[in-house]
Amino acid sequence: MRFRSIGKEDYVKGFLSLGAFLLLEIAGSIILTRYAPWGIVAWVALVLVGVVILIRWHSRNYGYKCVKCGHEFAISTFVNCISPHGPSMKGGWKLLKCPECGKWSRASVLKIV
């Protein structure tokens, strides 16, 4: 797999995807909770399906770089879902164990090419 640094266009695509997800969830909550007797259950299911789709999309399009050894790697959807993450001045990070050196670090986010 090949990786590259995150660029401005990647941030734009990410924010647009997140915005589309939020609009879908807001519209779904209004429609389902107002007009369907089982609306809350359907809305919760819509949110869960949307979150899984969003995490799978992220797992397929983004990888990580170990800050200790520099190894670049991709992770599974499950690991992407459960591992802590956050923003930094140099982009995003995710707390991961490197498959190469075996050390835990705040791996930096890369785009899969």
pLDDT at 71: 95
* Phi then psi dihedrals of residue 91, to 5 deg: 115, -165
pLDDT at 73: 96
pLDDT at 61: 92
In our burial notation (b when 16+ CB lie closer than 10 A, e otherwise), range 64-73 reads: bbbeeeeebb
Give pLDDT tens digits for 66-94: 999 999 999 999 999 999 999 887 778 89
pLDDT at 106: 93
- Cα→Cα distances 103→3, 59, 70, 106, Å: 21, 21, 12, 10
Give pLDDT tens digits for 10-63: 889 889 988 998 998 898 888 888 877 788 888 888 889 989 998 999 999 999
In angstroms, the CA 91 to CA 80 distance is 16
In angstroms, the CA 86 to CA 78 distance is 17
The predicted model scores a pTM of 0.80
